[in-house]
Amino acid sequence: MKRIVGLECEYGLTFSPIGRVYLPIEKILGYIFEGLIPNSWPSNAFLTNGARFYQDTGCHPEYSTPECDDVFDLVAHEKAGERILESCLPAAEERLREEGLAGDIYIFKNNTDSLGNTYGAHENFLMRRDVDFWKVSEQLIPFFVTRQIFSGAGKVLKVSGQPQYFISQRAQHIHEKTSSSTTSSRSIINTRDEPHADAERYRRLHIILGDSNMSEFAIFLKVGTAMLVLSMMEEGWCVPGIELEDPVKAIRDVSRDITLKRRIKLEDGRELTALEIQWLYCERAWEYLESQSADPVMEQVWHEWRRVLEALGDDPMRLVREVDWVTKYWLIQSYMRKKRCEWDDPRVAMMDLQYHDVNRTRGLYHVLDSHGKTAKVVDEQAIERAMTIPPQSTRAKVRGDFIRFARAKNRSYTVDWTYLKLNGYWEETILCMDPFSPLNSRVEELLAQVPGCGSAYEV
């Protein structure tokens, strides 16, 4: 099935003043918004690339990608979100100087702060309404619990006062198998059903246990494998006897074991490692793919999945450059050997955080990237294009076209996932309920009123 997917990423934001004057983080966030959307301070804004940028709980800037139906488009638009936030920093710091203040603003693409608070990296998959959601969820939970072995971002945490390296940042903050809440009782699968589409045909699969990834490859594999497994589940290709005895305990146990040797208890009494569970899904996915029409992208996902599982079983350090938790662990270990320090050294904690800095001149991931030491999935032009241009095969294109029209005509407008509205005189609302449709006749008519506006997406 052709599928709509999207990611939501909450970013950490902090201000390091030069001097004694400290501004509230709300003020700093306001400057970030000003840098992105001049002359306004909205709490919820859609951009010309079809994405949503807004303030989430706890004064976190949050970026939601536009609707994508291709995993490579999704990677480009997820990385574009980082670039968009980074591009706001110079204007925000200039606003500080205008007020006679000085300091550095930091934006981190991570999932925890120094006080132990967490913020999310949510995944959204449009799925069929006619399948049994609860049956599919039970089958998906073991996959998502163990997927962290290649999608985790890595984190140094203290256990009984001693620092220890964890695979996942979010794992220790998950409390339920399923829940409708995203804050008070965080779950593996969130049951809030907001498809932003025809609710009789579709529902939303909302996954909130994952980490934010800096690695393009990790984003690709994290989302690609989830798309593949969901498709096979919808078609009835289950993995028999895979249910976990205690999924919440399992996700935490997996995260604490970088050797990948810890065994997880299943409901039927068997005990398997996270790697063994992933292999069961991987092998079943190949059987599914062989029964379907050729799908080059999903076949590529599967081959990379198999390669990564083989590497994890041999030596995870083979995946430096590709898997975030491995890359960060390698960086920290290399530094510790050079400086002859231990895990409790404050510089290690700083490296743990700096890996996720979106500023490309100081973020450790970006330092590696600038030296060609990260695995690329999309080219630089695709990311730059995604900063302003939406995917051309989904509803996001209609939204981006509409916003460009409204700005070109200096019209007040309101936009949401499913509707476009021109405010004021000649008020008009355009419904867009089909996320797969990149065309809308009324928006095309509006674009025709602005010379050159309709050709903005030509390559």
Residue 96, pLDDT score: 85
Per-residue confidence (pLDDT) for residue 39, from 0 to 100: 54
Percent of the chain with pLDDT over 70: 94
Instruction: Judge whether 330 and 316 are in contact, CB under 8 Å.
Output: no
**Cα–Cα distance for residue pair 300/4, rounded to 1 Å:** 19
Contact 167, 154 (CB under 8 A): yes
pLDDT of residue 58: 67
pLDDT at 426: 85
How high is the pLDDT of residue 454? 60
233 DSSP assignment: H
For residue range 389-410, what is the model confidence (pLDDT) as tens digits? 999 999 999 999 999 999 999 8
pLDDT of residue 317 exceeding 50: yes
Of 34, 35, 55, the closest CA to residue 44 belongs to 55
- Give me the pLDDT at residue 87, please: 94
Q: Give the model's confidence band at 430: pLDDT under 50 very low, under 70 low, under 90 confident, else very high.
A: very high
> Model confidence over 259-315: pLDDT tens digits?
999 999 999 999 999 999 999 999 999 999 999 999 999 999 999 999 999 999 999
Q: Is the pLDDT of residue 353 over 80?
A: yes
Task: Measure the CA angle with vertex 407, ends 412 and 36; round to 5°.
Answer: 100
Per-residue pLDDT tens over the stretch 102-161: 889 999 999 998 778 899 899 999 999 999 999 999 999 999 999 999 999 999 999 888
For residues 258 and 324, is the Cβ–Cβ distance under 8 A? no
So what's the pLDDT on residue 458?
43
Looking at residue 212, its pLDDT comes to: 98
* H or E element in which residue 325 lies: helix 324-339
Q: Which of 433, 1, 5, 449 is nearest to 219 (CA)?
A: 5
- Average pLDDT of the chain, as a whole number: 92
End-to-end CA distance of the chain: give it in Å, rounded: 28
Residue range 211-237: average pLDDT? 98
Q: Which residues are catalytic?
A: 56
